[in-house]
Amino acid sequence: MAQAPRLLDVQVSARGAEWEWQLLHQAVVIMSGVKPSCEEAQKEGHSALFEVLSAGYAQPFKKDRE
């Protein structure tokens, strides 16, 4: 029989997910120079973040941003 997750495990998982979200958000900022709002990114879902990251990998880094 599967055991229900303990409260501590759930809290740690929630913090981990929040950290991952912040890490992805920072990657978007660094790689693309575009800073999407959290609400906008959540509304669009994670696929929007990955599209921005993919665009950042495809293009060389620009030294002078407009």
**Spatial CA neighbour of 54 closest among 35, 27, 36:** 27
Q: Report DSSP state, residue 42.
A: H
Helix ranges (H only) for 1-66 are 7-32, 38-44, 46-58
Q: Report DSSP state, residue 2.
A: P
Considering the entire predicted model, what is its pTM?
0.31
Cβ(56)–Cβ(32) below 8 Å: yes
Query: What pLDDT is stored for residue 24 in this prediction?
Result: 74
* pLDDT tens-digit profile, the chain (66 residues): 566 656 555 555 666 667 677 777 777 776 666 655 556 555 555 555 566 655 555 445 444 444
Tokens of 57: 């990998």
Mean pLDDT of the chain: 60
Query: What pLDDT is stored for residue 64 in this prediction?
Result: 46
Cβ(41)–Cβ(19) below 8 Å: no
